[in-house]
Homo-oligomer: A and B are copies of this chain.
Amino acid sequence: MSILITNVLHQGKPVNVYLEDNFISDIGPSVEAEQTIDGTNLALLPGLVNTHTHAAMTFFRSYADDMELHEWLRDKIWPIEAKLTPDDIYWGTRLACLEMIRSGTTCFNDMYFHLDMQAKATQESGMRAVLSEGFIDLMKPETGEELLTKTMKLVEEVRNMNCDRIKPALGPHALYTVSRQSLESIKQISDEEDLLIHFHLSETKDEVENCVKEYGKSPVRFLEEIGFLGPRLLAAHSVWLDEKEISILAGAGVKISHNPVSNMKLAVGKAIHYSEMRKAGLNVSLGTDGCASNNNLDMFESMKFATLLQKFSLNDPTVMPANEAFQLATVNGAQALGFNAGVIEVGKLADLILVNTRMPFFQPSHDLISNLVYSANGSCVDTVICDGKVLMEAGIVKDQDEIIEGARKATERLIQDGEG
């Protein structure tokens, strides 16, 4: 399969871009292709990479807001989550993928339940993803052993799909929900099987204080002690870290997923130490978190929140300029997840988006990247290509109505069951 995109804006100039199979094969040619997309008035950009999601939580979007974190989980989220069926996960993930595609994301890193259904929905959506089964043993190692067996069976299932776009991973939830023994087993399997670990780290002050109470040291120091850190670890949030912990994480090659909207909405108390992380050489990428705590999957919005949160918190309007925010959402994310994508270059995976430069909020066009970060939202995305296949063209996603209808029916049943 080949696709030619003609007359599309790339680094300020109109070019032709040739995609062959799932790679960017040439920039500048005017050869024939099986499919041609007219890129006039469109700008070519790498697809955005969302490195922290709980995709099927789209079902809980605006189900419960403006609550204290603990009440919110205990009274609202956990009771309804317990009712989720595999079918719900399928439709919730399809809905998430639809929303991500529409807003220019081509790749995401997910942690939720029923990994097989996450994988089925993601495969059908055409997106690229790292997917993990959320692992919570509630500090009981014997539960952990059972769960790990179950998890590895699911990982095997995903591998057997033979879908290059989808990588299984391990999803130990957090230090306060997973026992030390399970964390150690997970780390060992991650190394043996070359699986990424998707983990929540130091999101709140409480989490850090409880870890000190439980283990006598801060989360990063404890994880270092048990040998859990390493380049396959992607740590979401990572807000409450001191200087030494940042240096430990950098030394171990851990990847950080920053989730500014969720951090602000759930009031975690401070902004991530972005400048220190950058200085230490850490890979920082960007995530939306799940729809219960954001409440959308729009990475354009998250870029703006990321940079404005830094400026505001540090009293410094020069921190995280637009091009850095854009790197967080593209090349850093692709690197963190181990995909050869995130930039427009020959030889890179054909994961790309075309944005409509005629939108009023792009006028005038002094600086495209600045407009993307500070002025745009996901609605600027016109066309989305992932792995060399068109997922949205001129604003049309083929199965949109079917997905919205399927998700609507599933949520209706879920809420009735939840209240019944």
Contacts and interface: CB of A to CB of B under 8 A. Distances in A.
A363 B61 contact: yes
Given A66-B318, A321-B65, A374 B296 contact: yes
A267 interface: yes
B98 A360 contact: yes
A169 interface: no
Nearest to A374: B295
Interface in A369-420: 370-371, 374-379, 400, 403-404, 407-408, 411-412, 415
Interface string A96-117: 0011001000000000000000
Given A62-B375, A375-B295, A311 B264 contact: yes
A265 B379 contact: no
Contact of A407 (B66, B317, B364, B377): B364
B374 A404 contact: no
A308 B400 contact: no
DSSP majority for the A interface? helix
A301 interface: yes
The CB with the most chain B CB atoms within 10 A, among A296, A322, A358, is that of: A296
A269 interface: yes
Given A296-B361, A367-B65, A377 B375 contact: no
A69 interface: yes
Interface in A260-275: 261, 263-267, 269
Interface in A303-340: 304-305, 308-309, 311-312, 314-322
22 contacts: A62-B371, A65-B374, A66-B322, A67-B317, A99-B361, A102-B360, A265-B308, A265-B311, A265-B374, A267-B312, A267-B315, A267-B316, A267-B317, A269-B315, A296-B376, A301-B301, A301-B377, A305-B305, A360-B400, A364-B408, A364-B412, A378-B379
